[in-house]
Structure 1
Amino acid sequence: AGPFSIHTAARVMIADRMDRAPGAPFIEVQYLPDAVLGYLLPSRYCESDRFHDMAVEITAGRLLGYDQVTAIEDWLRSTIRCIPGSSNIPVSAVDVNLRQSGVCRDLSHLGIALCRSLSIPARLVVGYLEGLEPMDMHAWFEAYVGGRWYAFDATQDELRPGYVAIGYGRDAADVAVYNQFGLSVYPLAQEIRVYRAESAPD
């Protein structure tokens, strides 16, 4: 055994825009699809049972549904500092709120917990974002309103084309980049490049 490297590449087709839907309604729990119900419950890194009063305050005066999630996204963007590289392990929503800072995954955990506390299903998405600086894996969250999932990303000023999703889950415990068994192995270096096919490097 000794040092080794892994290389992988993929060409993917993605939507040319990210949908927004102000006013999309809240869906009452009894009308939610069965596959969505699990995203209402507290999970390892999203302790939604601890955030109801806070979520109600953040979303006061907003229409139930999409507009509530937009209020949560805006609050995260203005309140919780996103510091790339500041955390190498998943941090729970409670801890992120105490620290008032974190990486993209951490802000997403807090956003998910706030949504679920209002009975809005929410899930973590892990993938890549073209043009992200510094380039790395990325995480954002989706909320189920108006009969479908919509993306939200408090680490960016606005949603833009270029999101590449590779995994969905209740939180980071469901979408680990890799799992290992036995002695711990840590990558020494990681290089990620994301670009449009028509502008691929030579």
Structure 2
Amino acid sequence: MWLHASCSLEFNIPVPTPFLLMLRPRSGRQQWVAREQYVLSPSVSVVEFTDSFGNLCQRLVAPAGYFSVHTSVEIETADVSDMGPGANFVEVQQLPDETLPFLYPSRYCESDRFNEMAASLVAGQAAGYDQCTAIVDYIRNTVTYTPGEGQQIISASELNELGHGVCRDMAHLGIACCRALSIPARMVVGYLESLEPMDLHAWFEAYVGNRWYTFDPTQVGLQGGRVAIAFGRDAADVAIYTQFGDPVNQLNMQVNVERMAEPPF
């Protein structure tokens, strides 16, 4: 399917402030970027670089006063994310080098605290994809999804105690349990066509069967167009914007995702 997705951010900046933005999706296995727009108002100088996870990042200094960022993309994406029941577990010594950072505990995914719990959740499941599915089923059945309420980032351990959270928090728990089983897992932030209420969305991917597969504890299935914007170890790596120095006032944020009737050409 073809999607038109956009994100608009508005700020009141007290003093010139350095920003790091992460709002440009890349073409990849299940998405192809056909056209983009990236508008800053007022216009400022931007330096783009690729971070250690392959994300496209933009550095800039926002001037004092009103400042806005508007990005949009026309992109072809899969109708349904690939699934792989039975996909095998990949022995650590056989994993590609680039997957290894996603095996370690991280700030919000304390996988070293989930060894016993993860093992109990997947008892009787074939090693690999089926274990990830059992973890997602546990999260979906025991954690209440509360979209729009998660202003403060919480870790996998904190979510497991609270029992309710947003998509980002539920992804943290899935990642932590997968890593506890020596399955590489990473956070993904992006757009989801069918999301209600509309916002940016977070899910996770696990590396089994020699490739990355999508898992989303907040959705019963994997239908609907997904657009991945950023990948990382947890939420600390995939913030769509980070500002440095004195806090700024975010005035507004608006996300829109629409299916296009035909390709944009």
Mapping of residues 31-180 of structure 1, within 5 Å: 31-180=94-243
State the structure with more CA Rg: 2
Root-mean-square deviation (CA, aligned residues, Å) is 1.4
Whose strand proportion is higher, 1 or 2? 2
Moved more, 142-151 or 15-24: 15-24
Q: Distance in 2 between matches of 1:186 and 1:53?
A: 43
With over 3 angstroms needed to count, the CA separation of the structure-2 counterparts of 1:74 and 1:81, relative to structure 1, is: same
Deviations 1:20-55 (A, max 9, x none): 111001011000001111110000100000001000
Counterparts of 2:221 and 2:182 in 1: how far apart (Å)? 25
Matched to 1:6, the amino acid is: V
Deviation at 1:19, TM superposition (A): 0.8
| Structure 2: stretches of 5+ with no match in the other structure | 1-63
CA contact (8 A) 2:190 2:228 kept: yes
Q: Give the Å deviation of 1:9.
A: 1.2
Per-residue Cα deviation, 1:98-147 (whole angstroms, up to 9, x for no partner)? 11111000000000000000000000000010020000000000000000
- Displacement of 1:16 in angstroms is 3.0
Question: For residues 247 and 262 of structure 2, what CA distance do their matches in structure 1 show?
Answer: 38
CA distance in 2, matches of 1:68, 1:153: 14
Once the 2 structures are TM-superposed, how far is the Cα of residue 70 of structure 1 from its aligned partner? 0.2
> Given that residues 106 and 234 in structure 2 are in contact (C-alpha distance below 8 angstroms), is that contact kept between their aligned partners in structure 1?
yes
Instruction: Tell me which of 232, 241, 246 is aligned to 1:183.
Output: 246
AA of the residue aligned to 1:110: L
Shift of 1:168: 0.3
Q: Distance in 2 between matches of 1:43 and 1:117?
A: 12
CA apart distance, 1:199: 7.6
Take 1:160 and 1:62, find their aligned partners in 2: how far apart are those partners? 24
5+ residue gaps, structure 1, are none
Distance 2:168 2:249 in 1: 19
Which structure carries more helix by proportion?
1
Q: How many residues align?
A: 200
TM-score (norm 1): 0.95
- Out of 49-58 and 4-13, give the one that drifted further: 4-13
1:40-88 deviations in Å (ceiling 9; x for gaps): 0000100000001000111111000000000001111000111012211
Q: Displaced runs of 4+ in structure 1, greater than 3 A?
A: none
Shift of 1:161: 3.0
